[in-house]
Amino acid sequence: MSLGDVKMGSIIKINEIRDLSTKSHLIRFGIEEGTEVQCFQKIYKGPVVIKFNRQEIALGHELAKNILVSI
């Protein structure tokens, strides 16, 4: 499933970041394939905010759909 389908509050593992530019953006924050993050906030058909350690990062709907995760 993708990050866009995740329920708010759940802890997930990032399996694949399909978009290369997103991948190198996120790696700077410490988020890469294999990282566990929390779905901190989710706006209907809007961005997903993930929490990783003490960072919050908002990812637009389109980006979230292209990040594959598992619970």
Partner 1 sequence: MHTHHHNSSLNNEIDFKNNRKIVLVGNPNVGKSIFFGHFSKQYTNVSNYAGTTIDIHYGKWRDNVIIDTPGIYSVSSYNDEEKVARDVVLEADIIINIVDAVRLERDLFLTQQLIDMGKPIVVALNFMDEAEKNGLEIDVNLLSKELGVIVIPTVARLGKGFKELDDLILKARSGIRSNELKERINEILNVTKSEANALLILEGDPEITNRFNIGILSDKDNIYLKRREKVNHTVSLVVKELDKRTTFSVRIGKWSIEPVKGTLILILVLYLLYLVIGQLIARDLVGLTEGELMSKHWNPLVQRTIGSLTLDNNSYKDFQNINNSLLLAEKEYIKAKIEKNSVVIGELRNRIKVFKDKIRDFEKSNPVFTILAGRFGLLTMTITYIIGLLLPLVIGFYFMLALLEDSGYLPRLATLVDSLLMKIGLNGRAVIPLILGFGCVTLGTISTRLLTTSREKRIATTILNFTIPCSAQLGVITVMLIGRGDNPGVSKGYIILFVGVLFGVFIFIGTLLNKILPGKTHPLLIDLPPMRIPKLKNILLKIVNRTYFFMKEASPWFFIGAFVITILQVTGGLEIWESSWSVITENWLKLPRETSTAFIMGMIRRDFGAAGLMSLDDPFQIVVSLLVITLFVPCIASFMILLKERGIKEGLLVWVGALGFSFLIGGIVAQIGSIF
Judged by DSSP in three states, 6 sits in coil
Closest distance to partner 1 from the beta carbon of 5 (Å): 16
User: Nearer Cβ to partner 1, position 34 or 71?
Assistant: 34
CA distance 44 to 55: 22
Nearest approach, Cβ of residue 40 and partner 1 (Å): 7
* Chain residues that interact with partner 1, rule: CB under 8 A: 20-30, 32, 40-41, 43-47, 49, 52-63
Question: Amino acid identity of 70?
Answer: S
Side chain identity, residue 54: R
Min dist CB 2 to partner 1, Å, is 13
> Where are the alpha helices (H) located in the chain, listed in sequence order?
20-29, 61-65
Q: 16 vs 56, which CB is nearer to partner 1?
A: 56
